[in-house]
Chains A and B, each alone.
Chain A
Amino acid sequence: DVKVTQSSRYLVKRTGEKVFLECVQDMDHENMFWYRQDPGLGLRLIYFSYDVKMKEKGDIPEGYSVSREKKERFSLILESASTNQTSMYLCASSLQGATRETQYFGPGTRLLVL
């Protein structure tokens, strides 16, 4: 079974803090994704990566950065957390080029920024 893990299920941070969200997958997937999910807005893509050291902006990259130093790990960084970044953050991975393949999601991190 594919397993995608995220470093924390719940996080509480203060405005201005630097926040790291870690995601690890164990299926040698090339693609990794970071989404945030908010009521009424659904899942929105923040950043994605097709390969190590490669990243591309999604639909809402402002206020975020990412790092992919190893194939299995994709980190989301909030350089200076703000209250409007309070959300559920979901990481996902998938095989590259296999458009009929699903994405596998991690359990999510609920971030509260005070």
Chain B
Amino acid sequence: RKEVEQDPGPFNVPEGATVAFNCTYSNSASQSFFWYRQDCRKEPKLLMSVYSSGNEDGRFTAQLNRASQYISLLIRDSKLSDSATYLCVVILYNTDKLIFGTGTRLQVFP
């Protein structure tokens, strides 16, 4: 079983739609959680950290459920520029190593 699992997609949604991505992690010692965004042929970049209480950044909302070992990312009012691959990332307790999911691809169409 992979340490971090994501639905690879692709998710094809129209502009303005709301879309949600899910991610599960297997190691209960996971301490920190992030969503990264990766554009085609580019490097991953941090989109947002995920906090236990949930957090929002504009159109993006991240949630963490430690009991179910589950992370989500919600994108409201999708834009064409949101088209990218979204990577779920976990850091284990007492390490500086990131563990990446394989990513979920989003394609927003006009």
Q: Report A's interface with B, CB cutoff 8 A.
A: 31, 33, 40-43, 45, 48, 50, 58, 90, 94, 96-97, 99-100, 102-103, 105-108
Contact = CB atoms under 8 A, between A and B. Distances in A.
Contact of B49 (A33, A50, A97, A100): A100
A99 B100 contact: no
Chain A interface, >50% SS class: loop
Contacts of B34: 102
Instruction: Among B45, B100, B103, find the residue whose CB has the most chain A CB atoms closer than 10 A.
Output: B100
B102 A40 contact: yes
A40 B32 CA distance: 24
Given A43-B100, A105-B43, A105-B44, 10 more contacts: A33-B97, A40-B102, A50-B96, A100-B32, A102-B46, A103-B46, A103-B98, A107-B42, A107-B43, A108-B41
Interface residues of B, number: 21
A42 B45 contact: no
B96 A99 contact: yes
Interface string B38-55: 000111111001000000
Given A99-B31, A103-B98, A105-B44, A42 B87 contact: yes
B89 to A, nearest CB: 9
Contacts of B87: 42-43
Contacts of B103: 42
A42 B98 contact: no
Contact of A108 (B43, B49, B98, B102): B43
Nearest to A56: B97
B96 A90 contact: no
Contacts of A100: 32, 49
Q: What are the nearest 4 A-B pairs in CB distance?
A: A42-B102, A105-B43, A102-B46, A43-B100
B45 A99 contact: no
Contact of A43 (B31, B42, B44, B49): B44
Contacts of B45: 105
Nearest to A58: B97
Contacts of A31: 96
